[in-house]
Amino acid sequence: MMSPPTYYLTYTSSLTWSAALKPSTFTQIYQSARDNNQKTGIMGFILFKDGRFLHFMEGSEMYIANLYLAITHDKRHHKIHLIHQGTTHSKRFKQCDMLCVTPSISHTTPVISKLLAQFETYQWQTEQVEQLLNEMVAFYERDAADIAPYQVKAESYIGAIIKHHVKKHLFFTLTVITVPWLVIFMLLIEL
């Protein structure tokens, strides 16, 4: 008897501002995902950086569809964007109920993929996700025994979100800060 195909889905989302202010938000999301995945047989990983998620899950289509629907209604997430979904003959992450990677702590996170450096998940398409999946599988199969279990830390993510937005919009930020001071300086010179 042939086993049913494995369904997979990848989405990206961001923490809402109110969720980012609560130090326990990511810890709760991560623990809930692990508990749910163990009950339903869903495998995959979650990447988290600067208040943004990339979540890959695989398993039963019914469980994943229900989980994704619940995530779209979760008040801690916004800007939810489905990147790709489909079916395959076997799971990529056979022993991994929820691998968690936080690329923002790169000095302690082994190099998995160059894609994690920029982490512009809203611009990613199927090709980038497939590349990351292949690199994650290769990394996990090669180095999983050497990786200590990820310890989720309770912390506020608002600083990381602000830093990300300032960095992304640096020209605008500098203009908003600099132009008023230049105007004041010019007015003072004319006096």
pTM, entire model: 0.72
Residues 162 and 124 in one domain: no
Q: Give me the tens of pLDDT residue by residue for the chain, a chain 191 residues long.
A: 667 889 999 999 998 888 888 878 888 888 888 888 888 889 888 888 888 889 999 999 999 999 999 999 999 999 999 999 999 988 887 766 677 776 655 444 456 777 877 788 888 889 998 998 888 888 777 765 555 444 444 444 555 555 655 565 556 555 666 667 667 766 777 66
Distance CA 166, CA 155 (A): 20
Residues 124 and 63 in one domain: yes
Q: Which amino acid is at 98?
A: M
Residues 93 and 162 in one domain: no
The reply to whether 150 falls in a domain is yes
Q: Domain range for residue 173?
A: 157-191
Which pLDDT does position 21 carry in this prediction? 80
Residues 70 and 17 in one domain: yes
Both structure tokens of 145: 């025994």
Both structure tokens of 61: 């289509």
Segment (H or E) for 185: helix 170-190
Total domains in the chain come to 2
Distance CA 61, CA 151 (A): 29
The reply to whether 124 falls in a domain is yes
